[in-house]
């Protein structure tokens, strides 16, 4: 571990999907790591992470976790596609306020906040957006709205005593994914994946190792006093792909064979309005399910210009989408099926999203070749 890196780091939400990978990468380089989460984790115990259990909005619990720490990765959040605003506000906004307040009291030098690219998402999609794109005036769901408020709080707290920045990863996937892939798997019925739109919209994603790697880069740059604070940075693979191709490849890696069956976006939007209306009834507490926000993200493009992260933080994804999918096939014991699918699906590296044509106009990377019909077990069909 470099002397210019933090000596002891608190990771809020360390028992979660991304939080656990951040803890793994921190401990791998010799950084003393503490986790604040609501439940114990055997995986963190094996890593030697000190675990503090408590609520993010409880100052006493945050104080216990912060003892002796000189840096924080504030990763904990309530995520979801719908549901009432109250639980999101409590965790994402009130929890962030508590963490910032206790960091100041404990003299913490550095805080990296896990935001989300969804803070800039709007109907119609986001194409090659950089950090100059403002937050929208209105949000389709409480999750992106409360994350935008939290991001504003974090960036506003940046100053001489506490250096802060925010990272905006997008659709995190990889080994142990408890959200994205399981939701897709549950949606498959009788070999059919009924989805709004035809899946041709380009979407960028973030492998969990890539997302965690970006957090360590941000920690070190902030801690070394480099002029990167007070800003947000998009973080992704830099490989926008047609949503249908990516989804079917991930399902195939999980052993789920599916055929994409599109439904009209307008019909899905109307169904989402009905679902959201029902969700407002007393006693409703769910955070997932059909929503206008989810429909919009499934129908419209969303990919980003990663120049700021590349130049400011030295960010480069440690692996590509194809490698991540190949690893998933290998972990499932089906490397041949993975190689066959990837030869058709991702025959070569995708140019970065910042590539320009000779005239200097930025163009999207060419879509990956659609998955073609096949007979091998585990091969996705369009």
Residue 324 has a pLDDT of 93
Question: Cα–Cα distance between 125 and 237 in angstroms, integer?
Answer: 18
Report pLDDT for 340: 73
CA–CA distances in Å: residue 10 to residues 25, 51, 67, 99, 226: 13, 10, 9, 11, 21
pLDDT recorded at residue 131 = 98
| Cα gap 137→148, rounded to integer Å | 11
- Distance of alpha carbon 370 from alpha carbon 251, whole angstroms: 15
DSSP states along 349-362: PPPPTT-B-TTS-B
Phi, psi at 54, each rounded to 5°: 170, 175
Q: What is the pLDDT of residue 332?
A: 78
pTM: 0.86
The beta-carbon contacts of 374-378 under 8 Å, at least 24 apart in sequence, are 374/340, 374/341, 374/344, 376/336, 376/337, 376/340, 376/341, 377/257, 377/334, 377/337, 378/252, 378/253, 378/255, 378/257, 378/329, 378/332, 378/334, 378/337, 378/338, 378/341
Give, for all 382 residues of the chain, the pLDDT tens digit.
455 789 999 999 999 999 999 999 999 999 999 999 999 999 999 999 999 999 999 999 999 999 999 999 999 999 987 778 899 999 999 999 999 999 999 999 999 999 999 999 988 899 999 999 999 999 988 999 999 999 999 999 999 999 999 999 999 999 988 888 888 888 887 788 878 889 899 999 999 999 999 999 999 999 999 999 999 999 999 999 999 999 999 988 888 888 888 777 676 666 666 666 666 655 555 545 667 777 777 888 999 999 999 999 999 999 999 999 988 888 878 777 777 777 766 655 444 444 333 333 343 443 333 332 222 222 222 2
Residue 43: other Cβ atoms inside 10 A: 15
The β-bridge partners of 188 are 193
Q: What per-residue confidence (pLDDT) applies to 201?
A: 93
Active site residue ranges: 143
For the record, the structure tokens of 273 come out as 């309005």
Show the domains of the chain with their CATH numbers.
Answer: 8-177+205-239+302-313 (3.40.50.720)
DSSP string, 150-189: HHHHHHHT-SSS-EEEEEEE-SEESTT-SSHHHHHHHHEE
How much is the pLDDT for 281? 53
pLDDT on residue 357? 34
Helix then strand count (H, E) for the chain reads 14, 16
Q: Single out the residue of 133, 25, 146, 26 nearest to residue 76, CA to CA.
A: 146
Cβ contacts of residue 318 below 8 Å, gap of 6+?
Answer: 209, 210, 213
Of how many residues is the chain composed?
382
Paired sense of beta strands 110-114 and 71-74, if any:
parallel
Alpha carbon distances (Å) from 138 to 91, 94, 183: 20, 20, 26
Structure tokens that stand for 76 in this block: 């904990």
Give the model's pLDDT for residue 290.
Answer: 67
What is the C-alpha separation between 237 and 306, in angstroms, rounded? Answer: 9
Residue-wise pLDDT tens digits, 131-150: 999 999 999 889 999 999 99
Give the residue ranges of DSSP H helices in the chain.
17-28, 42-47, 59-66, 85-88, 95-106, 142-156, 180-187, 208-223, 243-253, 265-279, 292-299, 307-313, 321-331, 335-345
What is residue 366's predicted lDDT score, i.e. its pLDDT?
A: 38
């Amino acid at each position: 571990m470099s002397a210019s890196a933090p000596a002891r780091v608190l990771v809020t939400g360390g028992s979660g999907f991304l939080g656990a990978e951040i803890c793994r990468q921190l401990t791998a380089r010799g950084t003393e790591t503490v986790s604040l989460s609501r439940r114990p984790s055997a995986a963190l115990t094996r890593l030697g992470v000190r675990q503090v259990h408590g609520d993010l909005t409880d100052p006493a619990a945050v104080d216990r976790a912060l003892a002796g720490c000189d840096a924080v990765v504030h990763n904990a959040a309530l995520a979801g596609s719908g549901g009432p605003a109250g639980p999101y506000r409590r965790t994402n906004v009130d929890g962030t306020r508590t963490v910032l307040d206790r960091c100041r009291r404990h003299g913490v030098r550095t805080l990296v906040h896990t935001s989300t690219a969804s803070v800039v998402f709007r109907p119609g999609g986001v194409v090659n957006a950089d950090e100059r794109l403002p937050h929208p005036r209105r949000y389709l769901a409480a999750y992106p709205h409360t994350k935008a408020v939290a991001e504003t709080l974090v960036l506003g707290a940046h100053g001489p005593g506490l250096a802060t920045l925010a990272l905006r990863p997008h659709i995190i996937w990889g080994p142990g994914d408890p959200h994205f892939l399981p939701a897709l798997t549950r949606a498959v019925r009788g070999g059919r994946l009924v989805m709004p739109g035809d899946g041709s919209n380009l979407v960028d994603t973030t492998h969990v190792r890539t997302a965690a790697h970006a957090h360590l880069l941000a920690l070190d740059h902030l801690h070394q006093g480099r002029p990167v604070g007070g800003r947000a940075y998009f973080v992704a693979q830099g490989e926008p792909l047609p949503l249908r191709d990516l989804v079917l490849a991930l399902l195939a890696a999980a052993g789920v064979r599916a055929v994409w069956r599109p439904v009209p976006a307008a019909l899905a939007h109307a169904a989402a309005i009905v679902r959201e209306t029902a969700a407002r009834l007393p006693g409703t507490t769910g955070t997932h399910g059909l929503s206008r926000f989810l429909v919009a993200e499934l129908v419209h493009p969303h990919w980003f210009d990663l120049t700021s992260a590349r130049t400011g933080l030295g960010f480069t994804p440690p692996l590509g989408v194809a490698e991540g999918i190949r690893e998933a096939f290998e972990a499932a014991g089906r490397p041949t099926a993975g190689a066959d699918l990837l030869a058709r699906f991702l025959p070569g590296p995708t140019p970065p999203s910042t590539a320009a044509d000779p005239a200097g106009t930025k163009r999207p990377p060419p879509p990956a070749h659609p998955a073609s019909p096949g007979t091998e077990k585990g091969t996705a069909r369009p």
